[in-house]
Amino acid sequence: STPLYSSAASDVYKRQVPSSYTLTDADDFVTYSNATPSYDPVLYLPSSANPGKIVFVKNQLSRNIIVRGNLMNANDRRTKSETALNGVSSIYIFDGSYWVHFFCG
């Protein structure tokens, strides 16, 4: 990861990924761009992270990104293990059990 923003209090790290990827503790801003994979890449969110961990996922591909993990919809609290981001960006916040999913458009 490369620092996107750094201050005395915290750092925000950006990672540009061309294909399937497993999120690490150091990732805050994940961008899918500048690639033309022949398949829908998969972003794996870990089953545990620090509660309150926030990850922004930006999809600049002309295809889906599949996100897998313990996911929960922010609006109705339904849970699932997979979702597809089709040309949209999203924010995920870990609540201690689930990655709560917020659409950004």
Cα distance between residue 58 and residue 32, in whole Å: 6
- pLDDT the model gives residue 33: 79
Q: Give the residue-averaged pLDDT of 22-36.
A: 82
Summarize pLDDT for 64-105 with one digit per residue, the tens.
889 999 999 999 999 999 999 988 899 999 999 999 999 886
Buried b (16+ CB within 10 A) or exposed e, 35-51: eeeeeebebebeeebee
Cα distance between residue 55 and residue 70, in whole Å: 14
Reference 83, options 63, 64, 56, 61; nearest CA is: 64
- What is the share, in percent, of the chain residues with pLDDT greater than 70? 78
- pLDDT the model gives residue 16: 64
